[in-house]
Chain A
Amino acid sequence: MKKITMLFLAVLSCGAFAQAQVDRGSMLIKNGTVFTITKGTLENTDVLVRDGKITQVGKNIPAPTGIKIIDASGLFVMPGIIDAHSHIALSSINEGTNAITPEVWTGDVVNPLSISIYRALAGGVTTVHAMHGSANSIGGQCETLKLRYGTVDADVLRMEDAPRTIKFALGENPTGHGRRDGQQPQSRMGVEFVIRQAFSEAKEYMATWETYNKAKLQKGFRGSPPSYNLRLETLADILKGNIIVHCHSYRADEINMLLNVCRDFGIRRIVFQHVNEGFKVAPELAAYGAMASVFSDWWSYKLEVYYSTAYNATILTRNGVTTSINSDDAELMRHLYHEAAKTQKYGGLKDDEALSLITINPARQLGIENRVGSIEAGKEADIAIFKNHPLSIYTIPVLTIVDGIVRFDREKDVDDMRLYIDPKESIDIPTFQEADHTHENCMLGAEETAQNIFDLN
């Protein structure tokens, strides 16, 4: 009996550590214009989804019995949009008290109840990189989220097994914090110094532990272990190549600086965020294999972002840099397809190139390109369906699908999609009074004039 109980307990405890229960669905999306991104655009094409994965892309796929069918005739089917720089669905963003805080992790403070998740879905977004802020030179680790809105369980939102990432920041943000606190860094030189110092300490930490761990294997070893330090552990993980660096940056000189730091410490995986002056150092970025995640056309919001151009994404792309367009903003995230379309005006990128900026390229930057970012058999069924071409100003997202589950349906979009309500919140609704328009005469006679001008009579 005791054994059985033990066994039962063992089973229970294994269950406790199993991954969160994620809903996955099946469907046949019929007869749409499919932007595969990686394999061209296919007209009148079906996409078959089984248990959350794309199993087949082709014409006239016979519908398995009982499968949900989505008629995409006249609609445009593309991979779910991926935002490589966002701060949504987090309870806190900046642990800005110290210049170096790699031990903190936004994954600890994921907020599945945030309505911003649903709003992002309404813009065709299916995956976001929920990042630490840019207050400090080495900020916290970030979390890649799949927008499985509707769950209360933060674990369900995590993109399981996505690579670890971390936020770095250069320039005015970390130096501003340093000056406020009377701490390092207070200059761009200081930023380089604190990063180099942190990595040097981490190298020492690794060496000390390595020595201890080797010595411990010796027979009859007696000695004290080095002290544990989660901050240095995390930095060591970066040095070991286990964490992708995402660095907030603007100016070309400091981008070059960080490339040099990475070179010196053997860090290969680096994505520059914002990177407004990336166009100046595009060949250098490409040569290092560094990637770039940019705004379409945001600039001049602080001194270091005056030297900017809307051609940035195009120039980087043409130089062979894996480039994405990000939002860094809950509102902008809802129309990243417009942001991508701007590269067609500023630089004339082709449709696939423009759409890559918000799909497969951000997937590459997050190390999840084998799972999402294009419509191919074997990939996860994260799909956005649009009315009108997604790069057209008239486009409208109508359906957003994550793991084969419809998470946004424009036809079933009720007013209040909040998951939790605070019973103590005060309800404050502005009231609009029916105005009396009779005294407004600015358009007086306009109709008549228009009829005369256009000869409508």
Chain B
Amino acid sequence: MKSILSRRRTLLLLWAFTFPILLVAQDEKMMAPVSRTYVITNVNIIQSPGRKIDIGTVVIKNGLILAVGKKISIPSDAIVIKADSMYLYAGFIDGLSHAGIVKSKEEMNRDRPKDPGNPPPDKAGITPQNSVLEFLNPVDKSLEDLRSVGFTAAHVVPYGGMLPGRGSVILLGGSSANEMLLQPSLTFYSELTPAERVYPATVMGVMAKYRDLYRQASLTKSYETVYASNRAGLERPATDRILESFYPVIDKRMPVFFRAERVLDIQRVISLQKDLGFTLMLGDLKEGWDVINQIKTTNAKVFLSLDLPEEKKEEKKEDKTEKKEEKPKSISDLEKEALEKRKVEFTAKYTAQAGAFQKAGLKFGFSTISAKPKDIPANLRRMIAAGLSEDVALASLTTLPAEVFGLTDRLGTVDNGKIANLVISDKPYFHEKATIRYVFVDGHLFKMEVKEIKKVDPNAKPEIAGNWTLTTETPQGKSDSNLTIKKEGSGYSGKISGGRLPEPSDLQRVELTGNSLKFVYAVSMGGQAMTVTVEATVEGDTLKGTASVGQFGSFPLEGKRDPKF
């Protein structure tokens, strides 16, 4: 046992030097790979939507899934993860994202170019030759954010204007950009985003330029074919890497992946597709419910946004009844109510989009590009409550994107031979209280730290009387002070000393409600009187909270009760 541990330490050190990058992650710990063999035991395995193994075992070796099933022998070199009664899924695949992509710091066109009508292509947002490889940072925080909600692979695209570059599918973890790259240059990524202050500065300009470039490229491409077949006596075609980037699109070997959030964007992209005839994928749809039939006619593959407008919190009922009695509603109250009602009605439409697509029989994946990762699980639950089935939701996160990106042999389900991209949560993923515990990307384990949330418990009756040592963290550093609390009748009194206090100070007020403690004291600093308010949650002999010092703000504070007392 001891030897294993020390070996593990050595390996950890070694590993840390070779892959310093992955250790930087804050909320998750990448385990030291003693071995690249893992066994996850006693886990509910959802191999794909509708295909489930109750309490089974998954074996991973060298980045691949080695075995999935009920009676599986555990290899001797395996690291065992006891995922008792947890739930295991195939890692999710994001349809459109900038995860890991570094944005160029140079501000776009801050100085107006001399001839705004004829800007160089990069100023106009025309860089279709770019690839994500040039911008991929394996330690970018965005990768970790997406992993933490269950994504293990993503179709990522460069930042930019109308033609930012080619999209690639990457694994959301790896020591280098090359290692992360799974399906390079898969899509021809496009947006209707105008250039800033130069041509094309409007959406109509972008659409005209798109047609112009596409048709130019069609022409040069066909001439290149003629030239290649017999070069003698023919003018040499000019090389143009922008037009050449269109060639695989024109050949329909590469789809155009268009970002189209709003209903009008979707229609505009469809009109370009109808003019030019390319193979289309649509990403980040937010308002697609009215144009499902139009989308169907294009045979486009679709990715719906995982971003949703916030739901308005319901007002407390008590307030309402009180208001009614007070005064009748004014005209502006009524108008506001009517407008709010329509907002709510439309928020519901956004939430029901995925359900509407499901109902119309149009398959889709999901994209995170405009979503806050931490909102994603809740947004999925809202979509499910609004008509999306859990199976379709799971398929949209796993099997469908795998299929669309041509990755079914490698990703999307929990089956032997696939890349070990897995998500393990303590409850079913779509359950309100589910927490992700482990994520595997390419067979690398990311263990999610479960943050303990100390809850305010109104019924708790902690003992607070006694001597406490308080530690406050201020910009000047940590400072320790001593707190004494005495019980007096039904209340408490107390005294605080030490730390940065010139002399002991009596507490002005001590309040304990359940396990939440609040006390106030005055200090005199350089002749100036100030009030310090401490609010903390007590748990056993410890407390945790903040100390607010007048206009100086509030600082984190921790305390420990002397057990001797």
A residues in contact (CB < 8 Å) with B: 12, 15-17, 91-99, 101, 103-106, 108-109, 111-113, 140, 152-155, 181-183, 222-225, 227-231, 415-416, 418, 420-425, 427, 429-432
Contact = CB atoms under 8 A, between A and B. Distances in A.
B208 A228 contact: no
Of the candidates A106, A181, A224, the one having the most CB atoms from chain B within 10 angstroms of its own CB is A224
A416 B290 contact: no
Contacts of A231: 212
Nearest to A99: B117
Contacts of A95: 199-202, 204-205, 208
A381 B112 CA distance: 50
Category for how many chain B residues contact A: 35 or more
Contact of B347 (A227, A416, A423): A423
B130 to A, nearest CB: 23
Given A101-B205, A106-B204, A415 B335 contact: yes
Summarize A's interface: helix, strand, loop or mixed.
loop
A183 B115 contact: yes
Nearest to B212: A230
A423 B330 contact: no
29 contacts: A16-B298, A91-B264, A92-B203, A95-B199, A95-B200, A101-B199, A103-B209, A104-B208, A108-B271, A109-B203, A109-B207, A109-B268, A140-B204, A152-B263, A183-B116, A222-B226, A222-B233, A223-B235, A224-B234, A225-B219, A227-B219, A227-B220, A228-B216, A228-B219, A415-B335, A421-B342, A424-B309, A429-B332, A429-B339
B234 A222 contact: yes
Given A222-B233, A224-B223, A421-B345, A97 B199 contact: yes
Contact of A420 (B194, B287, B347): B287
A95 B117 CA distance: 9
Contacts of A140: 204, 208
Given A224-B237, A421-B342, A96 B201 contact: yes
Contacts of A93: 202
A423 B262 CA distance: 13
A154 to B, nearest CB: 5
Top-4 shortest CB links A-B: A98-B117, A423-B309, A92-B202, A16-B297
Of the candidates B112, B220, B267, B291, the one having the most CB atoms from chain A within 10 angstroms of its own CB is B267
Interface in B438-473: none
A421 B563 CA distance: 61
A423 B216 contact: no
A21 to B, nearest CB: 10
Contacts of A17: 274
A15 B204 contact: no
Given A104-B208, A423-B346, A423-B350, A224 B235 contact: yes
A222 B14 CA distance: 65
A431 B332 contact: yes
A155 B293 CA distance: 14
A427 B340 contact: yes
Given A423-B346, A427-B339, A154 B264 contact: yes
A182 B114 CA distance: 8
Contacts of B560: none
B354 interface: no
B343 interface: yes
Of the candidates A92, A140, A418, the one having the most CB atoms from chain B within 10 angstroms of its own CB is A92
